[in-house]
Every structure is written in structure tokens, then in C-alpha cells.
């Protein structure tokens, strides 16, 4: 099946929209093939501000409006406690919110940007999507992440080379409670590293410290300006560690 065929058969859908590579191309394709697509962006403390900015920018480029749903995801104690399967509860809560708003707006089908490259085996959030009945056109049409990047570039979408960016909750080891203040500190620290020119890294919570994880290609530069990095991040973390693993 092609996306054109999918949207020919399914002319109206609500999209769980993140502004990333996959959901941005899916929104573009749906509009291109004449479907009525309403995009919903759920803004929680787990999403940094730049992700929302990107979502608004790409939606404007495509020529459609998105609905922003503010949501205090930490109001769910099971999510704040951060169990191993936290993603299941988080995805379930977010897409139930989308479902509620989609129903009110007259959209029965919910779609998302899951593609063939996304594995179901180690992603508990996939089970939540399945239970709610969310469909994944990119996956159904056999499109991989590489395919989507190529198609996005051909479509002129600036997201075509956007790095993968997991939500801020992934910076916390399973079992470590997630607080809004710690999320703010992580986001501000990562903003500092972006401004210093780093592109693929993570600031992870490690005991009472921040563990900065860089790609091998960027680690040497990080080591060279270590004192500057520590100075920039010191308002947010007392102890700062350096590491070369980003995943």
C-alpha cells in the first residue's frame, strides 16, 4: 500500500503530532493527498520548548493548523514514579487525551508516525497505541526511517535531517522519580550544550549528578572545553560527569 492509497481510503484522521521527522512527513503526505488531517501536539513537561517551536514551524510550512493540548503528565503518580514500563502509561495517557479531543472534533481515526524501523519488541508504548486502536500509516505502507528522510528532503521539509530526540523522561533511570524541577534542569542544560555547538548528546540524571553523554566525534571537543561546560551547567547541577555513549 502507498500513502496515497491509504489516505484515499481514509480521508479523515487525527494525528498525534510531535514535529519530528516521521509525524511531519505524515502530516505533509496526508494534506498532499487530500485528506482532512487534524494534528494534535500534546505539550507536557517531557517535551522541551524547541520541539513545540519546530512543530509550529513545520505546520506553518505545510499550511495547516495544529492544536496544542497542555497536559500535566506528572499528575499520574505511576508515570512520575518512573517504572520500567513508564512509556506504556505515558503513551496511553497522551493518546487517550488526543482521542477525547478528536472525538469532540469529529475525528474517529487516530494515526501516528510509527514506521517500519521502530521495533515493537522493546517499546512498551507501542502496546498502548495498539490497545487504543491507533493506526500507523508509515508502518502499514512499509516506510523505513531512511525512506522518510529521503521523502522529506524531496518535499522540502526542514525536518528531513532532524536528529532523533527522545523525550526528557528518558534522561532518568527507571525507578528514579521524575520531578518537574529536575526536568527543567535537564532541559536548560541541554539548551546550553546546543548553544555551544553540540548536536547529538544527552544530559542524564545519575544519582545526584548530571552525566553528559556525547558521540565519540564530539567527545574530544567536549573534553577540550570541559571547564566552560561545567561553568555553564553549574546553576543546574552540582556534580557533572562526562561520558561517550549517547544511547
Write out pLDDT tens, residues 176-235. 999 999 999 999 999 999 999 998 899 999 988 999 999 888 999 999 999 999 999 999
Q: What is the mean pLDDT of residues 87-112?
A: 97
Write out pLDDT tens, residues 21-39. 999 999 999 999 999 999 9
Under a CB-based contact definition with an 8 Å cutoff, are residues 49 and 55 in contact? no
Host H or E run for residue 43: strand 36-43
- 163 confidence band (pLDDT: 50, 70, 90): confident
Q: Where in the chain is the domain with CATH 3.40.50.620?
A: 3-161
Q: What is the mean pLDDT of residues 55-73?
A: 96
Q: Where in the chain is the domain with CATH 3.30.1340?
A: 179-243
- 120 confidence band (pLDDT: 50, 70, 90): low
Question: Does residue 237 surpass a pLDDT of 80?
Answer: yes
Q: What is the mean pLDDT of residues 140-145?
A: 96
Give the pTM. Answer: 0.92
CA 76 – CA 197 distance, rounded (Å): 36
Question: Does residue 121 surpass a pLDDT of 70?
Answer: no
CA 102 – CA 14 distance, rounded (Å): 6
The owner of cell 475525528 is 107
Question: Does residue 124 surpass a pLDDT of 90?
Answer: no
CA 29 – CA 5 distance, rounded (Å): 11
The maximal CA–CA distance of the chain, rounded, in angstroms, is 58
Q: For the chain, how are helix, strand and coil distributed in percent, rounded to 5?
A: 50, 15, 35
Helical H segments across the chain, by residue range:
3-9, 21-32, 49-62, 77-80, 86-105, 124-132, 137-140, 145-155, 180-195, 216-224, 226-233
CA 168 – CA 228 distance, rounded (Å): 23
Lowest mean pLDDT among 25-34, 35-44, 162-171: 162-171
Helix (H/G/I), strand (E/B), else coil: 20: coil
Closest CA to 74 of 167, 166, 162: 167
Give pLDDT, residue 166. Answer: 87
Q: What is the mean pLDDT of residues 57-74?
A: 96
Give pLDDT, residue 29. Answer: 98
Cell of 159: 525536518
CA 90 – CA 76 distance, rounded (Å): 9
**Alpha-carbon torsion angle 95, 96, 98, 104, nearest 10:** 160
CA 146 – CA 30 distance, rounded (Å): 19
Cβ within 8 Å of residue 23, ≥6 positions away:
15, 16, 17, 39, 112, 113
Give pLDDT, residue 122. Answer: 54
- The CATH architecture that domain 179-243 belongs to is 2-Layer Sandwich (3.30)
Q: Average pLDDT over the chain, rounded to whole?
A: 94
CA 16, distance to chain mean position in Å, is 11
Give pLDDT, residue 15. Answer: 98
Question: Does residue 127 surpass a pLDDT of 90?
Answer: no
Q: What is the mean pLDDT of residues 29-58?
A: 97
Cell of 3: 500513502
Which CATH code is given to the segment(s) 3-161?
Answer: 3.40.50.620
Closest CA to 60 of 6, 17, 121, 2: 17
Amino acid at each position: 500500500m502507498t500513502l496515497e492509497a491509504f489516505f484515499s481510503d481514509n480521508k479523515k484522521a487525527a494525528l498525534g503530532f510531535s514535529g519530528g521527522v516521521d509525524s511531519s512527513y505524515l502530516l505533509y503526505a496526508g494534506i498532499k493527498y487530500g485528506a482532512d488531517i487534524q494534528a494534535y501536539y500534546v505539550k507536557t513537561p517531557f517535551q522541551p520548548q524547541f520541539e513545540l517551536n519546530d512543530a509550529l514551524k513545520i505546520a506553518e510550512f505545510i499550511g495547516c493548523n495544529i492544536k496544542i493540548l497542555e497536559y500535566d503528565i506528572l499528575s499520574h503518580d505511576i508515570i512520575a514514579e518512573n517504572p520500567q514500563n513508564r512509556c506504556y502509561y505515558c503513551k496511553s495517557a497522551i493518546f487517550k487525551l488526543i482521542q477525547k479531543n478528536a472525538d469532540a472534533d469529529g475525528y474517529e481515526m487516530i494515526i501516528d508516525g510509527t514506521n517500519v524501523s521502530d521495533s515493537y519488541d522493546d517499546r512498551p508504548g507501542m502496546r498502548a497505541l495498539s490497545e487504543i486502536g491507533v493506526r500507523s500509516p508509515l508502518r502499514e505502507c512499509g516506510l523505513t526511517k531512511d525512506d522518510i528522510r529521503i521523502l522529506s528532503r524531496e518535499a522540502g521539509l526542514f525536518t528531513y535531517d532532524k536528529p532523533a530526540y527522545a523525550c526528557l523522561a528518558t534522561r532518568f533511570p527507571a525507578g528514579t522519580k521524575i520531578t518537574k524541577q529536575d526536568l527543567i534542569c535537564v532541559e536548560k542544560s541541554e539548551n546550553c550544550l546546543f548553544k555551544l555547538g553540540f548536536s547529538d548528546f544527552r544530559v542524564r540524571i545519575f544519582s545526584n549528578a548530571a552525566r553528559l553523554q556525547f558521540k565519540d566525534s564530539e567527545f574530544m571537543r567536549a573534553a577540550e572545553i570541559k571547564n566552560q561546560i561545567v561553568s555553564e551547567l553549574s546553576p543546574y547541577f552540582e556534580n557533572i560527569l562526562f561520558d561517550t555513549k549517547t544511547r
